[in-house]
Structure 1
Amino acid sequence: MRAITLCCLVGLLPFPTVAADLSQEIALLGAASGVEAATPELQRAWRRVAAGDPLEMTEVLGAMGGVSTTAQNWLRTAADAMAERALSSGDGFPAERLEEFLLDDSQPPRGRRAAYEWLVKADPGAKAKYLPDLLNDPSIELRYDAVDALLQQAAADGVSEEEQKRLYGKAFASAIDRGQLEKCAERLKELGEEADIVQPMGFITSWKLIGPFDNVDGVGFDKAYPPEEQVQLDAAIKGKKSVVAWQSAEAEGALGQLDLTETLGPEKGAVAYVYCVYQSGKAQDAEVRYATPNASKLWVNGELLASNHVYHAGNPLDQYRSSVRLREGENTILVKVCQNEQTDGWAQAWELQLRVTDPLGKGLPAAE
């Protein structure tokens, strides 16, 4: 879509470079939203920015932070036009400024990615220069490229097994992308190394579980059963059919899935609570990401962070994401998982998959 937009807008571009203050035009492009059309005012602003001095390209890319996707596209295509013109003319390509911008990880990730792409287009050898320093970059895209470069290096002909182990291990330690993690783990296992993606992705596998409580006719989703008021692991509580107590449960799925029916049986019209104490090595910003085909609520340290009254609509990885500030030391995680009364074969799953990550999605395994 970006390339098509650029092709359409290039016809509007007066190619002589304009040396002018473009701050107002950049601000206008940065304020564009997804609901408005390409108004004449926006087109004029784009035309002036795109015709601007390529040395101002980093000002355009720097405006891509905290704005809509539409605004990012307007800004990116204007910056692309600047860079394309400079490269085509052989004069004025702002390599030094783009490099400085790329290496400043406080700049907008999409803007930094654009800077990287243009530096590589100007000099394909720049990949080898920059990627080794981007393995732990806060830009997901740049980190993906850096890990991918290691994977290609490890898979090259003539690389010794010991060197492969080193390269795959280094990639494994930095990867966020599930596919890259799985590729690293598979190859490391083939090389005789221990590798499991469950822990690096931050999945919680050891839980306490209690239930079932009543959810016939959906009454349980909004009803606060005792675990919502206080978790007492030695308590016996009146459940749906009898007195229930907390039990230990292990998530045995390939990606940390906890099957509640393994412990509680194939209940319908039921509520269960899943609980753990997560140890954080420091106070830090994080995300709790979870997936379940069942209606659910999530509390962290007693604060309700998510409430999703949805049944059997799929449960992709990281289906629900909640930002949280973890305390140093103990943090409590409580999830309410509600099963309805559908009898269809595809509506029998009663399960939970939950992981703790940094804000980018890098797993944060619990501290020892």
Structure 2
Amino acid sequence: MSDSDFSRRLLNWFDQHGRKDLPWQQDINPYRVWVSEIMLQQTQVTTVIPYYQRFMARFPSAEALAQADIDDVLALWTGLGYYARARNLHKAAQTIVNEHNGEFPQTPETIASLPGIGRSTAAAIFSIACGGSAAILDGNVKRVLSRHSAIDGWPGKREIEQQLWQLAEAYTPQQRAADYTQAIMDLGATLCRRSKPECDRCPVSDDCKAKAMGRQSDYPGKKPRKALPVKTTHMLLIENLQGEILLEKRPSSGIWGGLWSLPELDSDGDIDDYLDATVGHIGVAEALSPMRHTFSHYHLDIQPQHIRLQREPTRIMEGTRQLWYKGGQQQLGLAAPVKKLLDSLLQNDLFTEPQP
């Protein structure tokens, strides 16, 4: 199959079967496509759609996003994970406003210079929303090309990735690049899936080397597995007399950067010292059911400790780094396990009634 024949057959399939009614495919502009591409990184379409719709309703333009408080941005992102994506969206929107007069950049190189945008994402925005032609290489495309050409090895290795980029560039047409970009992403998402690919419906399966060998599941090559280390922490659910829970804002960088979280301690033996320093007196801690949260590079075992204060705090809170959380009355960016713990408390009615 020639390079042009690959793209022609893929475009013919897209015309008949491609997805054309996704929210970001309506009223197409670079901003809308950019937000969708960032949200879709490591996240499925069905999960992204409601988040995208809420995000666009609140921040319909780069200017609106740039002017927003980061807490408002993170609050709408809560549950999507990989929160650096949201922080970079916010930073990039400010860059667009401050350095590009509010106009979204129009070249792949300039787009890729924005925070949080790599080569493939920049190419997708350029092709879909700017009328250009540039090859993309997201996870779906890597899977399609790895199987079609039987590229052995994990795509995360530089030499394997370079082979895939060469194929991606060779197959990307100059005409109808926007449709081709959407088509190859759709093919990977709907037919050339990780498991149970529907090769009988694939428009390029006739020359697919993996299919010919019956080895579709071997491509792309798997990342060498390593046992994830386990870290432990104690999260404190400190409840005041009004039934509010103490939250602390995490540093802007690192895990859960900029999100609101529960106070954490290495040991339950440190709880009394923390309470004395924070609220001015000691409470009784009740251990709740432990939970595990898994990051890409380690497991975090969490031991929640529920502490009901018996009198009002006597210490002064640390300015804007701490607050008392009132449940649904506040929209905050929360770390996923923290939100789960708070929701669990609410559902089990463990928040006390306000004192008269």
Normalised by the size of structure 1, how large is the TM-score?
A: 0.25
Normalised by the size of structure 2, how large is the TM-score?
A: 0.26
* Bigger-Rg structure (1/2): 1
